Structure 1
Amino acid sequence: MDLYYETQGEGKPVVLIHSPGVDSREWTFVVPHLAAAHKVVTYDGRGTGRSPAPQRPTNLLDDLRSLLDELGLASASLVGHSMGGQLAAEFALAHPERVDKLALIAPSLSGFAYSKTFTDWMNQVNSYAPDVRRMVDFSLSGPLYRTIMQSPHRDLMQTLHSEYMNRVFTEWKSFEVVWPTPPAIERLERIEADTLFVRGTVEWDDMDRVAEEYRRIPSIRFEVVDGADHMLTITHGERLADLLVRFLDG
C-alpha cells in the first residue's frame, strides 16, 4: 500500500474520500467531530497530498480496496465528496459487502451528461495549461466556489488547489482513470447500503439533475446545507459532521 493515510479515533470505521483538486486536508474541520465516536480514516488519493503521482492509468477502486485491506477492515462506511462520492458509489456497487453506509457529498456520477455551461467552464480551465496560476485563478472564480472564496478559508482553498495543480504538471505521468463499466448511472438502483446525499445551495444547476439520478438508490435521504457551495466540507465542516454523525449512528 503506497498511499498516504491517517487514522483517528476509535469505533466503527469511516473512510473519507476527498474531491479532486485538493487532498485529504479538506476534511480538517470534519474529522475531529467524527473521531469522537468513530475510527476515521483519511487518505490522499494517488497524485495528491503525500501520495505518489500516477505513473500509469489509475484504478481508484483498487486503491480504495487496498487501503481497506491494509487496515484490516472487512467493511467500513464511506463518505465521498465530489469525484470521491462517485468513487464511493462505484465501490458500493462493486463491493457491496464491504460498505456499511454510504454518504455522498455533492457527488459526481459516472455516465452523467453534464451541461454545456459546466463543460465549457472545465474546458476553459484546461485551456490555460500549463500555466498553473491562471488555471487556479480561473477555476476558483467559478460559481461552485463562490462561498469558500468569500470565506476565511479562501487561503486554504487557494493553497490546496495550487499544490494539486503543480503536482499534476510536474509529477503525473498518466491522467487516465479506469472506471467500471457500465457506468454507475445505469446501475444506481443496485446500491444496497443506506445512503445520505448532502449538497449546498450554491452549486451548478447540474447538481439538481445528479441528485435526481441518485434518487434511484432504494434507501437514500437528502440534506441541503443553506449557503454552502461545492466545498461545504471546509466552510461548513461542523454542520456536515453533525449530519454525518446522525446518519452513521442513526
Structure 2
Amino acid sequence: MKKIILILIFQSLMLYNSMGQKTDLQIDSGFFEVDGGRLYYEMAGNGKNIVLLHDGMVSNEIWDYQFPVLAKYYRVTRYDRRGYGKSSDPEAPYSDIEDLHELFLKLKIEKAILFGMSSGGGCVIDFTLKYPDMVKSIILVGAVVGGYGYTSHMTYRGGHLKSPADMADPVKAAEYFVWEDPYEIYSENLAAKQKVSEILKRNIHRPFNSQYYKPPDRIAARFLGEIKVPALILVGEHDIPDVHSHAGVIQYGIPGARREVILNSGHLIPVEQPGEFNKTVFRFLRRNEFFSRLNNGGIEEAEKYFNSTFNSEPKVPMFSEAEMNQLGYRYLQQDKTKEAVRLFTLNTISYPDSWNVYDSLGEALLKEGNKSLAEKNYRKSLELNPKNENAVNVLNNLKGER
C-alpha cells in the first residue's frame, strides 16, 4: 500500500508541475491587520484579480495546484481565514465577510473573481450579496449556503462517523476526514489524501470559541436572486448528498448559474482532480471574457481575445459548439452576415472535427455571396459526414449553376 501511495504522490507532483508550477514564481506574502487580529496572505501574478477562499478544514494550501497556474494570467491572492494556517485565532467577535472586505482594501483590490471552497464558498456568497460591486464573477466549489441547513446524514456522515465526540479533537477530526470519511476525499484519490494529511500536520485547524463568530446580516439562501454576476458551481461526484443539495439550491437561486459535477472526486476537488478542475475553471473564465468582449466591444474585440488565448494552456474551448452555432444563426437572422461568418469561423477553429460547423459556415458564406469558399466548407462537412444530405444538395445546386 505504501508503494502505491508513493507512486500516486509522484504522479500528482508531476501533474502539478505540468500544469504550470514555476520555482521562480514571484510571491508577495505577509500579513494585514483586521479588527482584533491579523491574517496571512500570498499574492502572485498580474492582471485581473482572483481571490481564493479555503474550506473549513484546510488552510490556503488547498489551492496549491491552482495558485501558480492562475498566476500566469491573473493577479491571484490566497489567504488564511481566522483560526487557520498562519492567521491569528479569534479573540473577539469577528466577521469573515468583513475580513475579506478588509483584504480588498488593504491589498488595493477594487474588483475580483472569487473562488470559494465549502464554507469559504458560503462566505463568497455572503460577500457578493453585501458588496456586489466588488465582485466580477464567482466560482463555488462544494459550497454551502447560509439558511438552507443540513440533514442528520450530514451530521453523522451517513453513519460512518462512529464517535461524534472525537470531532472536538482537531487531530482525531483530521484523521477521520482524511482517511475514513467516504465523502471528503474519494477513496481512490490516495495522493490527495496524503497531500491533505501533510498540510494538516503543518497547519491544523485550531478550534476557538464559536461565540466570536458574527453571522451575516441576512440569510443568504433567501436572497440568491440578487446575485447578478456569472456563477460556476462545482461539486464532486462522491461528495456527501447534503452538499449536492446545496449546489442545486445555489444554482436554482442565482440567475444563469452553471453547475457541473466533477467525476472521481469527493469534497476537495482542487486537490483530488486538479487537472479537470483547472480546465473547467479556465473554460468558465475565458467564456465569460469572450462574451463580455463580444457584447461590449463587438466581434473584433472578441476575435482578438480568441486569437490571443486559444492556444494558451490549459487548452479549453471558450464556448460550446451549439451556443456559437445558435449565436451565428441569430446574427444571420439579423442580417449581420459578415459578423455571422466570423463567428462560424471561430467555431470551425474550436471544433475542427465537427461536420456541422462547416455546414453552418458554408450557409453563411453563401448568403454573403462567397460561393467558392462556401463550396469548400460544404465539401469539408461532407468529408466528415458523408450522410450530410444538406451538403450534397447544396453542392449539386452549385454545380448546376456553373
- Pairing 1:4–2:40 present: yes
Match of residue 198 from structure 2: 159
Cα distance in 2 for partners of 1:240, 1:125 equals 33
Match of residue 133 from structure 1: 171
1:219-238 correspondence runs (5 A): 219-238=256-275
1:1-250 correspondence runs (5 A): 1=33, 2-121=38-157, 126-128=164-166, 130-140=168-178, 141-147=180-186, 150-165=189-204, 167-168=206-207, 172=208, 174=210, 176-214=212-250, 215-250=252-287
Deviations 1:134-192 (A, max 9, x none): 32222331121242674213222123345554632xxx455542221331111111111
- Structure 2 contact 114–139 (Cα < 8 Å) conserved: yes
Task: Give the letter aligned to residue 284 of structure 2.
Answer: F
Task: Give the letter aligned to residue 286 of structure 2.
Answer: D
Residue 253 of structure 2: SS of its match in structure 1?
coil
Deviations 1:187-238 (A, max 9, x none): 1111111101011101111123212211220121112211111011112122
Which shows bigger deviation, 128-137 or 179-188? Answer: 128-137
Give aligned pairs, total. 247
Seen in structure 2, the aligned counterparts of structure 1 residues 198 and 151 have a Cα distance that, compared at 3 Å, is same
Residue 118 of structure 1: SS of its match in structure 2?
helix
Seen in structure 2, the aligned counterparts of structure 1 residues 51 and 186 have a Cα distance that, compared at 3 Å, is same
Which shows bigger deviation, 236-245 or 214-223? Answer: 236-245
- Structure 1 contact 56–174 (Cα < 8 Å) conserved: no
Cα distance in 2 for partners of 1:62, 1:109 equals 17
Q: Which runs of 5+ in 1 are unaligned?
A: none
Alpha-carbon RMSD across the aligned residues, in angstroms, is: 2.1
Cα distance in 2 for partners of 1:35, 1:144 equals 30
Task: Give the letter aligned to residue 159 of structure 1.
Answer: E
Which shows bigger deviation, 192-201 or 180-189? Answer: 180-189
Cα distance in 1 for partners of 2:234, 2:168 equals 33
Cα distance in 2 for partners of 1:203, 1:49 equals 24
Cα distance in 2 for partners of 1:91, 1:234 equals 25
Deviations 1:14-73 (A, max 9, x none): 000000111000100011221111111100111111111111233000000000101111
Question: TM-score when scaled to structure 2?
Answer: 0.58
Higher relative contact order (CA 8 A, sep 6+): 1
Residue 25 of structure 1: SS of its match in structure 2?
helix
Whichever of the two has the greater Rg, that structure is 2
- Structure 1 contact 55–174 (Cα < 8 Å) conserved: no
Structure with the largest fraction of helix: 2
